[in-house]
């Protein structure tokens, strides 16, 4: 997969993609990440990329031409029109694991990082295929959201994760939070590893983990647990939880 990132702050991306899994994916040629500075496509003397909003109001708006020209530039070798243009902005649909899954099947993503109060609406109308937000909190721009997306999408590209860090057990893959994990030593600062995990009884261990997962999900993320899709076994484990 090829990912082009269009931003006014390319320096922010120095580092996040140069570590562990993403770095290995880039080295293996499975992932190609390119950064483009939108300011390089402002051709006036002062390289101006923002302007006052028509109609008044506070804050600045990103001018359409530098963004438009930058997108045209990164699309110029894409004869088959295989690219998908995504604008990161607070007005977008919220990014979910299923969004990451869907986008991991694309050949070429072009991510535009919004900044200032917003971007001229005509950019959206003419070249943006999809708008994405990463959640209901206010950030200073679309750069960190772009990093989040690249990270979540990259690990789903076939061959990027080794067997050891496989994604089939991902929390949101199963729609329920993960159970507690322990490693050596058996006792740490006076706290023992639960006896059942040392028992070697795989059926008991499986039930314990499932129960802990359900318990955590009910306490922290009840929105993920719809009673009607609980199996009879899950319902029983949840009843035990309510007794605990």
Is residue 42 involved in binding ligand 9D3 (CB under 6 A)? no
Q: At what angle do helices 202-220 and 232-243 cross, to 10 degrees?
A: 70
Is residue 135 involved in binding ligand 9D3 (CB under 6 A)? yes
- One of 3, 17, 114, 177 touching ligand 9D3 (CB under 6 A): 114
Is residue 99 involved in binding ligand 9D3 (CB under 6 A)? no
Is residue 88 involved in binding ligand 9D3 (CB under 6 A)? yes
Cis peptide before 98 (omega within 30 of 0): no
- One of 16, 53, 90, 175 touching ligand 9D3 (CB under 6 A): 90
Candidate list 10, 16, 53, 90, residue with the active-site label: 90
Burial of 223 (0-12, 13-18, 19+ CB in 10 A): exposed
Task: For residues 156 and 89, give the distance between their C-alpha atoms in angstroms, rounded to a whole number.
Answer: 23
- One of 42, 142, 150, 154 touching ligand 9D3 (CB under 6 A): 142
CB atoms within 10 A of CB 96: 13
Is residue 117 involved in binding ligand 9D3 (CB under 6 A)? yes
178 as an active site residue: the answer is no
Asked if 68 contacts 127 with a C-beta cutoff of 8 angstroms, the reply is yes
Candidate list 170, 186, 206, 233, residue with the active-site label: 170
**Nearer residue to ligand 9D3 within complex by CB, 16 or 90:** 90
155 as an active site residue: the answer is yes
Burial of 136 (0-12, 13-18, 19+ CB in 10 A): exposed
Which are the catalytic amino acids?
Answer: 90, 117, 155, 170
Contact residues toward ligand 9D3 (CB under 6 A) are 88-90, 114, 117-118, 133-135, 137-142, 145
């Amino acid at each position: 997969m090829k990912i082009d990132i269009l931003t006014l702050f390319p320096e922010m991306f120095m580092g996040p993609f140069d570590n562990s899994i993403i770095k290995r994916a880039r080295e293996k040629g499975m992932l190609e990440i390119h950064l483009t500075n939108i300011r390089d496509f402002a051709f006036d003397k002062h390289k101006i990329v923002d302007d006052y909003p028509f109609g008044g109001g506070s804050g600045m708006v990103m001018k359409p031409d530098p963004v438009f020209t930058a997108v045209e530039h990164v699309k110029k070798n894409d004869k088959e029109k295989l690219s998908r243009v995504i604008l990161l902005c607070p007005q977008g649909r919220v990014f979910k694991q299923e969004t990451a899954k869907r986008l991991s099947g694309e050949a070429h993503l072009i991510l535009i990082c919004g900044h200032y109060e917003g971007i001229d609406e005509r950019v959206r109308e003419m070249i943006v295929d999809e708008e994405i937000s990463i959640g209901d909190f206010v950030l200073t721009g679309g750069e960190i959201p772009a990093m989040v997306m690249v990270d979540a999408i990259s690990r789903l590209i076939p061959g990027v994760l080794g067997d050891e860090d496989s994604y089939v057990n991902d929390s949101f893959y199963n729609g329920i939070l993960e159970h507690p994990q322990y490693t050596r030593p058996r006792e740490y600062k006076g706290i023992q590893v639960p006896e059942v995990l040392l028992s070697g009884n795989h059926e008991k261990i499986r039930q314990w983990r499932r129960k802990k997962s359900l318990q955590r999900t009910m306490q922290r993320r009840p929105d993920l647990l719809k009673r009607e899709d609980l199996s009879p076994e899950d319902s029983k484990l949840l009843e035990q939880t309510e007794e605990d």
